[in-house]
Amino acid sequence: MIIAIIACVVLIGMLCMLAFNLATYAVPFMAGLAAARFAYHTGSGLIGAGLVGFFAGLAVFGVLVFLFAALRPPILRIAIALIFAAPAAVAGYQLVWGIAHEYVPSAIWQQLFCIMGGVFVGVSALLRLMAAGDPLADQRLSRP
């Protein structure tokens, strides 16, 4: 019985890590999904729609990272970062809500946990964008 409980905790942790990684890429994923649905409904077939969606998601992620790295005015960088991080924060909020409404009886604590989860995922997406948009970050960190 103890082994089953430990296995459940480990599996829940792994699923949360997977959902966390997917939530940080919410904008490219949704753009790819929309492109795939459009391609499928215009007659490209399942494989063609999958390829269109995959490359559309890659293109959106590449454009966001390029714009974040190329633009120097802080207000424009903040706007790009918010475009990337806001949907991730909403996805993090909804992810925690899916778990908290089943196990946390107090509505106030549910909302506090959900807000903390949304902030955590939003900040994580922001940090991932900054790391991907700064090609010299590894060189600066490795200097003595």
The one-letter amino acid code at 123 reads V
Cα separation, 58 vs 9, whole angstroms: 33
CB 92 within 8 A of CB 101: no
What pLDDT does 24 receive?
67
Say whether pLDDT at 3 is over 70: yes
pLDDT digits (tens, 9 = 90+) for 63-98: 888 887 788 887 888 888 888 888 888 888 888 888
**Would the pTM of this model clear 0.85, i.e. be above it?**
no
CA–CA–CA angle 138, 119, 55 (5° rounding): 60
